[in-house]
Amino acid sequence: MYFNSYENQGKSLFIIAEIGINHNGDLGITKDLIKLAKETGCDAVKFQKRTIDIVYDKEMLDSPRESPWGKTQRAQKEGLEFGLKEYKEIDSYCKELGIVWFASAWDIESQKFLRQFDCKYNKIASAMITYEPLLKEVASEKKYTFISTGMSDIENIDRAVEIFQEAGCAFELMHCVSTYPMDDEDANLLCINTLRDRYKCNVGYSGHEVGLAVSYAATALGITSLERHITLDRAMYGSDQAASLEPAGLRSLVGAVRKIREAMGDGVRRVLDKEVSISKKLRAHFRYE
């Protein structure tokens, strides 16, 4: 049995503005990005949550890395990580603006941390799709979950789907290619159809490309959700900035995919009422032959 009900199915495309770590640890930037998502018509904003000492080992954290926060990997990771105070502010600001927020946890402790905010949705990041203990923890909450499929083969996806089915947790797969930025020729968008046919579930698209054309094409293939990283300026510090949309690009994307989704229709061949008078006029010369 497939648990794939989705309240937005058949309606407008569910658009997720992925803030991720593009906030650079700054609540001012964070609020600007949330406001941008709301003003451009996105349905939700998404973040990433990590427990630094669980996700990364000590050797890695002690290794050198120049960043605005110091000279080690630990300083950089901690500089980008929000805690309870910041997430309370995010939660309050999103409620004030009337936009949904949620986050992808990279470890079980982070998932438990997020639980206190009672977010409407969960997200499994591509990197976490093979981490079965986390999948089981998320599925146990029985919240609608978006599952990204980057870096995964069919066997990996089969197992993730099985875990959510066994838990009775509604889910949606998201076709994804985990390169930053992604080359257009690597998009393999027909995998959207492959996933939909194999798992009989809703399928979205999480894009890391530069530009808009690939996301337009994914929308035309009938995706139910679209996730793109957003930024105030791609020249800002951060590994995800290059694959992110700036404000003008986000506005263009949202406007266009809404129109594309509406234009797709239902596939039923019919004569529109608007066409009847035109038909009479253009076919008048042979109507009585």
Q: Which of 180, 161, 170 is nearest to 141 (CA)?
A: 170
Domain positions in the chain: 14-265
Helix (H, G, I), strand (E, B) or coil at 89: helix
DSSP 224: S
User: Residue 1's pLDDT is what?
Assistant: 32
The tally of CA atoms less than 13 A away on the side-chain side of residue 44 is: 21
Quote the distance between the C-alpha of residue 236 and its chain's center: 21
What is the rounded distance in angstroms from the CA atom of residue 44 to the CA atom of residue 135? 22
- pLDDT tens, the chain, 289 aa long: 334 444 444 457 999 999 999 999 999 999 999 999 999 999 999 999 999 999 999 999 999 999 999 999 999 999 999 999 999 999 999 999 999 999 999 999 999 999 999 999 999 999 999 999 999 999 999 999 999 999 999 999 999 999 999 999 999 999 999 999 999 999 999 999 999 999 999 999 999 999 999 999 999 999 999 999 999 999 999 999 999 999 999 999 999 999 999 999 999 999 999 999 999 999 998 866 5
pTM summary value: 0.94
CATH number of 14-265: 3.20.20.70
Q: Give, in degrees to the nearest 5, the angle at Cα 10 between 184 and 252.
A: 40
User: Residue 288's pLDDT is what?
Assistant: 60
What is the rounded distance in angstroms from the CA atom of residue 249 to the CA atom of residue 83? 30
